[in-house]
Structure 1
């Protein structure tokens, strides 16, 4: 390394180090740690094995007692998840709550969470049924469970949503962003989603934090359920800013529906490419004006020799 390049490196070091000391985001709170992303992804994978036994692991529950497999796996999940929840709560702690109290709170969160797992599994089985009923290309429910990115994103959302409701910091977002990175489907853990939910194809779907979705709703790729404007930033935290989609609605690809006061009534069909910022009455078909195609004869440059 020549002297000139050493000077360049030295200047870069000083400038970056200056940001370390002045920028709050770079300063992890002293003596605290953020949750371990790898451990949280491991929790997702283990819970997936429990919810859909035999699909994502080597276990064969027909050869062994299912209670043993479930109990052993959930025990491992509990140990990991409780530790990560404690880590998140300690990092977020601004009220000087003792670590003993935080540990008790983490235990209570885990108690409620594990108490909900059987109901989450039933919801997921209904989502599988919705996928099978709604996709003529599906050859079996097994194919949907094993292969469909939409179901994976929904599975992660339903797990993360329970922790979101219990005000667990960091972890729900880590979970849903993991699914986002895997599938291209971005479901905020705060959204409320009913039964028999199906996302077909999926890539590019965005569902915002305060979205409310009813039962038997089907979305196609590229659908955005978003906020009308986010220029106010943190001033809108906690305000309903995403739409409500009622029961039995189908929204085709590329549609955008925005605004916290926007309600799409039950049994509506929204055509692909629609842009909606106001409510739609029940049993309405929203269409987009077809583009006009102007056919012209080939120019001289287009004629093949």
Structure 2
């Protein structure tokens, strides 16, 4: 680097150091109080190998005995999760003044509690695979669903994150679900409560808010929003039930928006495409937008299977 380049770099460094000294939130230098994003993503990938032992592989582990392989993998994930949870706990006011020993101890307890709940999480995920297979005639088999369906990937990572959310781990649950969001286009807040046999078909553009409650045997298609009526009150709404409740055996088709904490979609109901629901729906209901008939003739018109006409323009 010549003298001119060196001076230019030093001038920019000085400029930025002066900017950092403004003491705004974005100027924080406490980098060791934030979990490592790459490590959290790595934990997600390794947990997938634990959840689906026959589908996700790692060439690092050369041991062919399943028990030994699992032991090495669990030891690896436990170590990294405990470390990242310990860092995250520092963002909880409860642990702000705790000793390093206390924080490490709590991180170990949380990590063990998470691993003890893996069979429970896998039970739920197995029902999600079954629901997806039963509900999608395009699926050639369950292996195709596990290896390629974005809906199952997003829900699996959500189920991991939700347990950490229930264990009151700051930051990491949302980092996990936002990683899944970035990979699949499916945004499930880790605070949402989702029952068994949950199916997401196609998935892109789905949003499921933090206080959403979803029962068993629910199917959701692409572009669905389970959201809040308004967030204008900002942080005053934190912790308030502001997202809908979806009861058992409900199907919500593409583009539908179901909004509001008091909105309950009764069991065995169907919410049609592109509808906007802001009040409760009784069980066994069907909510749709009435089809508009388009009359006409000519080369730019096509007949539907039911004899109706629609425009190709």
Q: What is the deviation of 1:23? A: 1.7
Task: Map residues 228-239 of structure 1 onto 2, 5 A cutoff.
Answer: 228-239=229-240
Which structure 2 residues correspond to residues 48-127 of structure 1 after superposition, within 5 A?
Answer: 48-57=48-57, 64-93=64-93, 95-127=96-128
SS at match of 1:199: strand
Residues 189-225 of structure 1: per-residue CA shift (max 9 Å, x gap): 0000000001000000000000000000000000000
User: Normalised by the size of structure 2, how large is the TM-score?
Assistant: 0.86
Corresponding residue for residue 307 of structure 2: none
Question: TM (normalized to structure 1)?
Answer: 0.88
- Displacement of 1:65 in angstroms is 3.7
Cα distance in 2 for residues equivalent to 1:298 and 1:129? 45
Are the aligned partners of 1:199 and 1:220 in contact in 2 as well (CA < 8 Å)?
Answer: yes
Aligned to 2:40: 40
CA distance in 1, matches of 2:40, 2:158: 14
1:169 — aligned with what? Answer: 170
Residues 1-12 of structure 1: pairs in structure 2 closer than 5 A: none
Where 1:225 maps in the other structure, the secondary structure is: strand
User: Shift of the alpha carbon at 1:28?
Assistant: 3.2
Residue 176 of structure 1 contacts residue 188 of structure 1 at CA under 8 Å; is this kept in 2? yes
Deviation at 1:16, TM superposition (A): 8.4
Which residue number in structure 2 is paired with residue 147 of structure 1? Answer: 148
Range 165-174 or range 85-94, more displaced: 85-94
Query: Separation in 1 of the partners of 2:16 and 2:145?
Result: 51
Q: Within 1, Cα distance between the matches of 2:53 and 2:286? A: 40
2:77 alignment partner, SS class: helix
The aligned counterpart of 2:303 is: none
For the 8 Å contact 1:32–1:90, the answer to whether it is kept is no
1:256 corresponds to which residue? Answer: 257
Structure 2, unpaired ranges of 5+: 301-313
Aligned equivalents of 1:227 and 1:16: distance in 2?
41
